[in-house]
Structure 1
């Protein structure tokens, strides 16, 4: 029997205010004030293994086939939505969630989607978000000294021509005496990092600047980041640093590997691709990145392809793994000695047409089941010209978005 799913226009409704249903806030995807927020769980699916993207696609398409869709809004992000958060490593669990109620907003238009043969849910103005207690930080899986030693080992492997680049990650943990306020944390990230993609999927929460792939009909977009420098807060000094980043041979080398991996993965699917000759400098609140937007148009033979196929081809990119990918993966397993779980994996949303937006889960943390602690992550791309102390400082800068947001709740 089909389950009715309805989408209708909603009045003014900023997506991350405290206006909500009494269901738990489970999923969110917001950028510059627009996005999608999901409450409750209609269906949830956990999957792992080398075929996780294909199994996820099959599960989603089976769920869509069970729905009687009544969409009075139309357009990207309307109708039934799947929030997805895939693991970095295939042997770890990936999570897919279909929310019970979803609120969306784009270009001043808001809509609501709900599941079930009922009238539009009554949205109540309540403020039940918990207030976090004092945050205490603990060392993660790897000490500072041990991590810098790992970086040194990676540099030696690169200089021995075993590979060109590898990305090494580290983590730290924050604990609170009370439940960490997820809605407040999302709002803080949105205020401080409006140009990033703010996300929450099954306890994985963060603000990532890197878009793995957006598929809208036949148009494909990927934003590649690699090469980072920390801001000082002095505008003139930061402009000088931005200019030095744009000319840094070490950072340009790292960035070239990442762009090449994305362009090569998309090439078989696109009739044309646009890869700018030089990156631009993306300014965030705390750091600056070298960035390149790679775009393409699906070719005739690939027009039946969907976002699941593109995710599988693009993950893991050189930006979060290294190059060559196989050698980089092996070195990560050998050196990192840390379970990334869903950090650095694909995260985002997919609609009933299998279009969607999928980012890379960076600048993020995994909440514990009781939400009294969170494990946050950062990673750095290591190339021949890397320096262990400099890379550690970069990792500290990449941890700051989550650290600052947690400490100011």
Structure 2
């Protein structure tokens, strides 16, 4: 835990008339966004930033956040998920990553859920924060940014997959997830909210997120916590959408019947259930996965729910779950070691947890997929990966990562 003094925050949430589309209330350059289906929260400004790295980054953030929440004075007239004291977070995938894991408390949050809307204002140690209507600014134009890769990216990725298959055959791991990257650069002055807004428009059923430059639209709920209840959605096993209704249904049916994909999915479900077992009672998921349809992909999906049995917060459950088999592999430690050995880059926050937490330990967190890290200068690194199990085909795995790049590529074109 940090040794520095944790400031006391003063938080006021009040009801707001219909604010319209929320994206315009976020910062152009440093947007804080968590949206799905038109509902969610957006933040602007920065009242507090908690930063940690290394093996204990999640537990250290959780401890600091508990101190922040315990000392905060909160006046919340709305009392809905996403009101009161909130921090947006994004966490590095690997303990070895040089990338910081952060929780950010904005100065102002505007939120919407169903017919309800609200504004939350945060000040530090009683400093004045002017009340008034939140300010929405028009979104900038969409930009066209080509995302590039090396000419031999196909051969290099397939070679990594073949190496992974050798390790699987040797018994080192049962599954490992290997990723690759694309790079580009935003033009100077580009409105980063626009990237998130375009992703949300194209993928309304996904979590659209923007936290500290990590921007994307994730289909996978890592964990949601509400007043002692938990839920999550496990995704593993992927197929491209078909052209035309008949071919599309055939693609979904083939995925559902695929032994390779069912095995990959089963690893991920077992991993999640085992991680949550010490913290939850009454865990329940479907006996068989269902097919989840996205604009560009079919996924095998399983929803899991239960009750928290040990007062764990959403951050505590993230510590238990991450990294899941869906984005790391199984056995976990061996798979992460193999990723560190084979992948020629630091994943940063890709495939790490991203979301929000409130003062009571509730929150929504997704796995940071289908997105990119945009650094302060505008440099973009997009990521996509796929699970490798016995029977995986290297060429097919490369094509799958290409399909998974489509959301961020489309949003930048």
TM over 0.5: same fold?
yes
- Distance in 2 (CA, whole Å) between partners of 1:23 and 1:256 is 41
Q: Which digits, 9 at most, give the CA deviation of each residue in 1:41-75, with x for residues without a partner?
A: 11112211111112101221222234221111112
C-alpha contact 1:263 1:275 (8 A) present in aligned 2: no
- Distance in 2 (CA, whole Å) between partners of 1:66 and 1:23 is 31
1:83 to 88, 93, 103: 88
1:94-243 alignment to 2 at 5 Å? Answer: 94-116=101-123, 117-127=128-138, 129-131=139-141, 133-139=143-149, 143-243=153-253
Q: CA deviation at 1:157?
A: 1.0
C-alpha contact 2:218 2:369 (8 A) present in aligned 1: yes
- Distance in 2 (CA, whole Å) between partners of 1:210 and 1:173 is 23
Structure 1 residues 3, 359: CA separation in 2 closer, same or farther (over 3 Å shift)?
A: closer
Q: CA deviation at 1:327?
A: 1.1
- Distance in 2 (CA, whole Å) between partners of 1:91 and 1:333 is 9
C-alpha contact 1:136 1:176 (8 A) present in aligned 2: no
The residue that corresponds to 1:403 in the other structure is: 409
Q: Which digits, 9 at most, give the CA deviation of each residue in 1:267-308, with x for residues without a partner?
A: 111221112110000000000100000111122xx1x21112
Q: Which digits, 9 at most, give the CA deviation of each residue in 1:164-190, with x for residues without a partner?
A: 100001000122433432111111111
The residue that corresponds to 1:38 in the other structure is: 43
The residue that corresponds to 2:276 in the other structure is: 266
C-alpha contact 1:21 1:123 (8 A) present in aligned 2: no
Count of aligned pairs between the two proteins: 401
Q: CA deviation at 1:140?
A: 6.1
1:6-25 alignment to 2 at 5 Å? Answer: 6-18=12-24, 20=25, 25=30
The residue that corresponds to 1:381 in the other structure is: 387
Determine if the alignment matches structure 1 residue 342 to structure 2 residue 353. no
SS at the partner of 1:353?
coil
- Distance in 1 (CA, whole Å) between partners of 2:63 and 2:44 is 24
Determine if the alignment matches structure 1 residue 67 to structure 2 residue 72. yes
The residue that corresponds to 1:49 in the other structure is: 54
- Distance in 1 (CA, whole Å) between partners of 2:72 and 2:45 is 17
- Distance in 2 (CA, whole Å) between partners of 1:387 and 1:283 is 23
- Distance in 1 (CA, whole Å) between partners of 2:241 and 2:58 is 37
Structure 1 residues 74, 133: CA separation in 2 closer, same or farther (over 3 Å shift)?
A: closer
Which 5+ residue runs of structure 2 have no aligned equivalent? 1-6
SS at the partner of 2:387?
strand
- Distance in 2 (CA, whole Å) between partners of 1:358 and 1:231 is 26
Give TM-score, length-normalised by structure 2: 0.93
- Distance in 2 (CA, whole Å) between partners of 1:261 and 1:364 is 24
Structure 1 residues 228, 5: CA separation in 2 closer, same or farther (over 3 Å shift)?
A: same
Which 5+ residue runs of structure 1 have no aligned equivalent? none
SS at the partner of 1:316?
coil
- Distance in 2 (CA, whole Å) between partners of 1:88 and 1:256 is 22
C-alpha contact 1:15 1:103 (8 A) present in aligned 2: no
Structure 1 residues 66, 24: CA separation in 2 closer, same or farther (over 3 Å shift)?
A: farther
- Distance in 1 (CA, whole Å) between partners of 2:263 and 2:91 is 28
Give TM-score, length-normalised by structure 1: 0.94
- Distance in 2 (CA, whole Å) between partners of 1:66 and 1:395 is 45
Structure 1 residues 360, 23: CA separation in 2 closer, same or farther (over 3 Å shift)?
A: closer
Higher mean alpha-carbon deviation, 235-244 vs 279-288, is at: 235-244
- Distance in 2 (CA, whole Å) between partners of 1:23 and 1:5 is 24
- Distance in 2 (CA, whole Å) between partners of 1:135 and 1:217 is 42
Structure 1 residues 15, 24: CA separation in 2 closer, same or farther (over 3 Å shift)?
A: farther
1:318-337 alignment to 2 at 5 Å? Answer: 318-337=325-344
CA RMSD across the alignment: 1.8
